[in-house]
Amino acid sequence: MAENLVTQVDQNGQTTPIIPVDEDEDSQQSTSCFCGFLFSRCRRKRHNAPEAPRPMVTWQPPVHRDPGHNLLPEPGSPHTNRKCLVLDLDETLVHSSFKPVDNADFVIPIEIDGIQHRVYVLKRPHVDEFLRVVGGLFEVVLFTASLSKYADPVADLLDPGSAIAHRLFREHCVMSHGVFIKDLSRLGRNVDETIIVDNAPASYAYHPNNAVAIQTWIDDPTDTALRDLIPFFEEVAEADDIYSLLRTLTF
C-alpha cells in the first residue's frame, strides 16, 4: 500500500490522507466520491476497503520535552536576534493534489512504490510577496506534517529566494491520538518569540497562544489572507510581546 504522501488537515482537525491509486482502481472510481479536492487518481482510504493491519498506537511520554534534542541548529546570521516564524505548507501556502489541473504552478514528479506519480501544486495568492517580506524579518521555518520527498521539492520551487531558513517534516512532529502536532518547544528557540501560522488547530495544540489560525486554502484565486497578514508580521517582528499582538487577531 502506498504511503500517505501529503497530510491535509482541515480546520476541524480532520485528517485527509492523500495517496495515489493504481490504474485498476482508477477505472472503477468516479471523481464524485469524497471531497472535491480528491480526484480520480487518488482517494481517501475507504472504510470498506481491505487494509493492512495497522500498528497499535500507544501514547508515549512526551520525549519532546528533552531540551537536548532541539530540532533546529543554532541560529546563524542574519537570524541571530530574530523571532522565529513557523509556517505550515499544505492549505496554508499551497494546495496539492494528484488530480491534474491546468493552472498548476508546479508539477512535482514523485516515485511511490516504484511508480512515478505527478503532484499538481497551486500556490496560495500572494505567497511570493508574503515569503519575501517575512523572510527579511524572521527566522522562517517551514514545518509540515507531509513527507520530505514531497515537501522538499515543493519548497525548492516555492522559495527560490531562500526566505525559509529551515525545513521540518512529518518525522519532526509529535504523534498524539492520531494527530501530528508541531511542538514549538522542541525547536530550540524561545517559545515566547515563536509564532506558528497553520490552517489546522490540531497542529498547534500545545501552543495555541502562539498561533495565527489562517483559513484553509484550496483554490480561491481571490484569497488575500497572506497579504493581509504582512502588516501584522511587520509589527510582530518589532514587538516586545508577541502575545499582546496575537490576541488582537480575529478570524
Note the residues at the interface with Mg ion (CB under 5 A). Answer: 88, 90-92, 199
Q: What Cα–Cα distance (Å) separates residue 184 from each residue in 42, 154, 162, 174?
A: 32, 23, 22, 10
End-to-end CA distance of the chain: 39
Pick the closer one to Mg ion by CB: 89 or 236.
Answer: 89
Pick the closer one to Mg ion by CB: 90 or 193.
Answer: 90
User: Sign of dihedral through CA atoms 210, 178, 216, 96?
Assistant: positive
Q: Which residues contact 123 (CB under 8 A, 6 or more apart)?
A: 93, 94, 105, 106, 158
CB 6 within 8 A of CB 18: yes
128 is catalytic: no
Pick the closer one to Mg ion by CB: 29 or 206.
Answer: 206
Q: Which residues contact 22 (CB under 8 A, 6 or more apart)?
A: 115
Shortest distance, position 190 Cβ to Mg ion, whole Å: 24
10, 22, 24, 90: the active-site residue: 90
Shortest distance, position 106 Cβ to Mg ion, whole Å: 17
Give CA–CA dist 138/236, Å, rounded: 10
Pick the closer one to Mg ion by CB: 91 or 139.
Answer: 91
10, 22, 24, 88: the active-site residue: 88
Shortest distance, position 115 Cβ to Mg ion, whole Å: 26
Pick the closer one to Mg ion by CB: 29 or 151.
Answer: 151
Shortest distance, position 208 Cβ to Mg ion, whole Å: 16
Question: Which phi-psi region, left, alpha or beta, contains residue 190 (left: φ > 0; alpha: ψ -120 to 50)?
Answer: beta
Shortest distance, position 91 Cβ to Mg ion, whole Å: 4
CA dihedral 156, 127, 195, 108 (to 10 degrees): -30
10 is catalytic: no
Joined grid coordinates for residue 65: 520535552
What does the H/E/C string look like for 23-81?
Answer: HHHHHHCCCCCCCCCCCCCEECCCCCCCCCCCCCCCCCCCHHHCCCCCCCCCCCCCCCC
Residues annotated as catalytic are: 88, 90
